[in-house]
Each structure stands twice: as C-alpha cells, then as structure tokens.
Amino acid sequence: MDHSTSNVIELPFSIDKEDLTNSVWKVIEILKPKWRQDSIKHKIFSDGITNSLVGVIHEDDKVNMILVRVFGENTDKIIDRNAELVNMKILHTLGFGPALYASFYNGLAYQYLPGEILTPVTCLDENIYPLVAEKMANFHLQFACVKERLPLETRKSLEKSVLWTKLKNFIMLCPPKYSSDVPPKEKLLEELRWLKRMLQQLNDQLVFCHNDLLLANILHDKDRNSIEFIDFEYAGPNYQAYDIANHFCEFSGVEDYNPLRYPHEDFRKKWVTVYLKTFYKNETVDGKTVHLLLGHVEHFTLASHFFWGVWALIQAAHSSIDFDFVGYASLRWDQYFKKKAAILTDAGAIES
C-alpha cells in the first residue's frame, strides 16, 4: 500500500523569509481557520544553519504549536525535497517524527514535538545515550516497512546507498575556487574514488538511515524519557555504520566545532553494544560483533567528514546565512586527512 500520498495540503505560494513572523500567517489561516491572528505568538528557533524555523502558538497553547520551516536558498540543489516529503509522511506512519500538515513552494508546516535538543553534555548522559542508540536501531529496522509503503516505481531506489551518488553530485556543485585549506575538485574526485573502494570492501549492512543526526536533530522529552528524531532532509538507504559514525562526529558540534569532543573508545563500545542489542533483538551480543561494527564506524567517520566538508563548500557559495562555511569545511577536511592517515597507519601495522 502506498502511504506516500497522505492528506497534506499543498499551498501554491512562497513565504517571505525576510518577513517570516508575518508571512507565516498565510499558512496558518488555512490550516487553522478558527485561530485569531491577534492571539498568535511566535517562537524563532535558531539551532539550524540551513533553514529558517518558526513556531506559531495560539492562545499560549504550546502543545499544539505549528512549526513552519522555510528552506534555505538553493538547498534544492543538494536536497531532494520530494523525497523529503515522502520520507516525512511514511516515517510518521511508522512512529518516527512529526505529522506533516502542509507544503508550500519554499517550505513545510508540521507538528511540534516536545523535548530539548541534545547538547555536548546530554549526548554523553548515561540515561540518555542508550535511548538514542535504541532509537537509531529501531529507525534502521524500518527499511522493509519504508520500502513497502513507497510507490512501486520508486522502490528500486532503496536497493543501494545514496552516499556515492550524492557525494559525486556535491563535488560537481562545488565552486571552482575556494580556500587553500580545502582540496581542489580533482583531488576531491580522486579522494572519492579511493574512499568508495575502501568502504565498499567492508560490506557494511544497508539500512534506512537518517543521515544527519547532529545533536540539534535529536529531541529528549524529559517527561516521557523518550527520544525523537527530526528533520529527514537527507534520510535514505545507507550503510549502518555511516549513521552511527556521523552521529559520533556530530558530538564535535557545528558552530563551535571541537574535534576533541568526538567520543572516546569506551563510550563508543557501550553505545554500539546497546544499539546492536536492539537491532538484533537480543539481550546478549558477542564481542566479535561489537568489535566489527566499531571498526566499521571508525572507517565511516571518513565519509561523514567528506560529506559535510563538501556540503559546506556548496553552502558557502549559495547561502546568505551568517556562518563561516568555508572555515567549517576546512575543519572537516583537516579531520578527514588526519583520520585517513591513522587508518592507513593501523592497516600497515596489521599487515606487517
């Protein structure tokens, strides 16, 4: 059964990003005709560096707040917005993420989910990180359910990872010149060929991934002691170890990027053990299985640094958001080459 076309209102207009709090009323008056404009309050969310997000609250009822997200400039070059809509609809039916209310030319309106985004402190909390690991494992287990809910003509798209096609497309979109701290296009393509060969040899499991689990995309509801994932812009089939590796890399932050916050080995082992117990629905997981996935995760940190390093270069060329995207790209590429050197050194030590 195709669940990708649920009742979502399609609105034939755009929202003025420069006058966000006033222009969102165009959406709200259609979704909530009984709401009065003079009883509206707005909450601006400033955690993202790609889109603009505002919450619309009627008569101080925060529980029923509606979120209106306006896409960043030219983000359709790197994000498949149709796929995002389909993902949001399907994943909500499976118990993940908010209900989608409406789409308009340059954005979406959807349900507010309660909770606080994770921080560099709470992501390490022994009462919270197991919930995240369990949530990711259950998310990954939705592969077959997502596939059967897609239209027949698009189900083949789930048979291979989105990673390689997306990375190649990203490189093609990169500007010809940027900081000297960042590899030129030909070097990026050369690195991509090497990375693909190296990671494909691992034969890592293909699952349905979120692909962007930075701390701001994970909500912890203290009252229910539960975790929610949000923002499925990059969701799709990908390697199991990539989603975990990318999440660990995101402990370093974005605006205050600090690679020293990458989690230490003992934490990674405990996190992956919880994940595997949920993924295999087994209270005991042998050490060999844990060790294997941990090794894959370390290798896939390279793919995370590569992905967001190239992404940042594209954003630098097209985004009007006040953020040092080139500087961020430089930091991610620095970590990429350091990690690559460490992996090659370890491989040489094993071979010798």
Q: Pick from 111, 132, 152: which residue ends a domain?
A: 111
Q: Is the same domain home to 160 and 38?
A: no
Q: Pick from 111, 127, 158: which residue ends a domain?
A: 111
- Position of tokens 């006033």? 22
What pLDDT sits at residue 268? 98
Is the residue at 122 inside a domain?
A: yes
Q: Is the same domain home to 49 and 93?
A: yes
Give the pLDDT band (50/70/90) at residue 177. Answer: low
Q: Is the same domain home to 99 and 137?
A: no
For residue 249, the domain's CATH number is 3.90.1200.10
Q: Is the same domain home to 307 and 266?
A: yes
Q: What is the pLDDT of residues 219-257, one digit of tens each?
A: 999 999 999 999 999 999 999 999 999 999 999 999 999
Q: Is the same domain home to 279 and 316?
A: yes
Q: Is the same domain home to 107 and 185?
A: no
Q: β-pairing, 100-104 with 9-11? A: parallel
What pLDDT sits at residue 4? 45
Q: What is the pLDDT of residues 135-160, one digit of tens each?
A: 999 999 999 999 999 988 888 888 99
- Per cent of the chain over pLDDT 70 is 96
For residues 293-297, give the mean pLDDT.
98
Asked if residue 271 has pLDDT above 70, the reply is yes
Sequence-separated (6 or more) residues with CB below 8 Å from residue 121? none
For residue 75, the domain's CATH number is 3.30.200
What pLDDT sits at residue 215? 97
Q: Whole-angstrom distance between the N-terminal and C-terminal Cα of the chain?
A: 54
Is the residue at 7 inside a domain?
A: no
Structural domains of the chain, count: 2
| Alpha-carbon gap, residue 312 to 242, rounded angstroms | 18
Q: Is the same domain home to 135 and 247?
A: yes
Is the residue at 203 inside a domain?
A: yes
Q: Is the same domain home to 305 and 235?
A: yes
What pLDDT sits at residue 26? 94
Q: Could you list the residue range(s) of the whole structural domain that residue 36 is in?
A: 31-111
Is the residue at 19 inside a domain?
A: no
Is the residue at 20 inside a domain?
A: no
Residues in the chain: 352
Is the residue at 259 inside a domain?
A: yes
Is the residue at 94 inside a domain?
A: yes
- Position of tokens 């402190």? 121
Tokens of 294: 């941990």
Asked if residue 350 has pLDDT above 50, the reply is no
pTM of the complete model: 0.94
Q: Is the same domain home to 183 and 270?
A: yes
Which neighbouring-strand residues pair with 61?
Answer: 58
Give the pLDDT band (50/70/90) at residue 352. Answer: very low
Q: Pick from 95, 111, 127: which residue ends a domain?
A: 111
Q: Which phi and psi (to 5°) does residue 154 adopt? A: -110, 0
Asked if residue 46 has pLDDT above 80, the reply is no
The lowest-confidence range among 5-14, 34-43, 84-93, 307-316 is 5-14
For residues 185-205, give the mean pLDDT.
95
Q: Is the same domain home to 62 and 134?
A: no
List own/partner pairs for 168-173 with CB under 8 A and 24 or more apart.
Answer: 168/192, 169/78, 170/78, 170/307, 170/310, 170/311, 170/314, 171/310, 173/77, 173/78, 173/314
What pLDDT sits at residue 66? 97
Q: What is the pLDDT of residues 88-136, one digit of tens each?
A: 999 999 999 999 999 999 999 999 999 999 999 999 999 999 999 999 9
What pLDDT sits at residue 110? 97
Q: Is the same domain home to 102 and 125?
A: no
Q: Are 212 and 246 in contact (CB under 8 A)?
A: yes
What pLDDT sits at residue 5? 46
Tokens of 237: 């089939």
Q: Is the same domain home to 326 and 266?
A: yes
